[in-house]
Amino acid sequence: MSETKLSHIHSQQHYSRAKQLMPGGVNSAARAFGAVGGEPIVFERGEGAYLFDVDGNRYIDFIGSWGPMIFGHQFEPVKEAVHAAVERGTSFGAPTVAENELAELVIAAVPSVEMVRLVNSGTEATMSAIRLARGYTDRDLVIKFSGNYHGHVDSLLVAAGSAAATLGVPNSPGVTEGTSRDTLVLPYNDCARLTETFKNHGDSIAAVILEPVCGNMGCVIPTPEFLQTLRQTTENSGSVLIFDEVMCGFRVAHGGAQEIFGITPDLTTMGKIVGGGLPLAVFGGKREIMQHVLPAGKVFQAGTLSGNPIATAAGIAMLKALRDQPPYEYLEGLSHKLESGLKAAAESNGIEHCIQRVGSMMTLFFQNGPVTDWDSASKSKTDQFSKYFWGLIDEGVYMPCSQFEALFISAAHTNEDIEHTIKMAGRVMSEFAG
């Protein structure tokens, strides 16, 4: 490991001030480093594959704002589009041509989507999709899966993953019993439990929502049998199948996870990449279902800043770049290289591990795998992950600050970045293995 630890004195000063201004000093619980100990690093800027903190330290960034920076920080087409949009005005509260253009790009890319509604966050998208499914089916019950995170929607904060799992608060205070009563929580990848639940409650189930590539209990992958059972069971019962692709949409493939797995959901939620890194998300799907959204139908949904012209400009530039210069082959090469290198580093140091990856999303679990659901994910050695995380920080590599978050590789990363990361990971592992 580095002989000298990086200085974070200015980060510490800023964070101390932040704790007086914001609960826990952060605006999202996942940023608080609760899973790894210590205090969060405060950043000043990003450039390409790198982040720079307020102390002047540079890190190879494997978070990418939790996914949207698929071309790296300060991607020139997005920067130019945002600057041009600002010159025209920041918000109108009225329709714009850009909304049409972004909608057309999403519909053209994603197999299941015939109509969309633009919103401001992934949470809004999943909340609205659930409401729509209930309104469309005139049913109440929704199935979600333990370890899947769908934003801070009251009815879905039941056995949640991500920050909630990390903090040991699977059920948030403030969520009423009545709110969560209509949510059924099942194990991920468990076909038998799914089939049994539909046998008992099928006529009352409005929707099933899942992450088709999990990123919030680490990268967990659905089995083909599980996906096929989901699709067949929901179709037979008249329930709505919702893919939450807020994280993996446009990330694992241009058409998202549904393109890779060949499963067509009824509704899809997307965020992060679709807004080019700005606050924007969408939900969309079959025209027959989407026509139930107000004002075409009666299911209420609204947002003063939805379709914001700055965010839509960023999203259009991002989706055009993904269409016209797709990075997926390059990302696959880099991702495979990192996966192989981390596996070799763990093996050479005798460390129990399991690496799971879909495209440029990946997690190194500190346990023997496979990891198929929240129960198996939770067996990971989080103390080892913490040592790994902080060891890499001192080597200038910024990984997700939780065992239960996927890392992301960008097209701005180079082979040299990957090789350096593998070398440093091996060095760090040798320290705590010894």
The set of catalytic residues is 149, 244, 272
Tell me the C-alpha distance between 134 and 34, whole Å.
Answer: 36
75 Cβ neighbours under 8 A, 6+ residues apart = 69, 276, 317, 318, 321, 412
Joined together, the tokens standing for residue 167 give: 């903090």
191 Cβ neighbours under 8 A, 6+ residues apart = 225, 226, 229
Tell me the C-alpha distance between 269 and 249, whole Å.
Answer: 8
Contact 410, 71 (CB under 8 A): yes
Tell me the C-alpha distance between 42 and 55, whole Å.
Answer: 9
45 Cβ neighbours under 8 A, 6+ residues apart = 51, 52, 73
SS3 120: coil
Tell me the C-alpha distance between 412 and 409, whole Å.
Answer: 8
DSSP 42: P
Q: Starting from the edge strand earliest in sequence, which strands make up the sheet with 50-53, in order?
A: 43-47, 50-53, 58-61, 397-398
Dihedral sign (CA 86, 92, 96, 100): positive
Give me the residues paired with residue 240 across strands: 207
With vertex at residue 277, the alpha carbon angle to CA 126 and CA 162, rounded to the nearest 5 degrees, is 50
SS3 381: coil
Dihedral sign (CA 70, 75, 77, 79): positive
DSSP 399: -
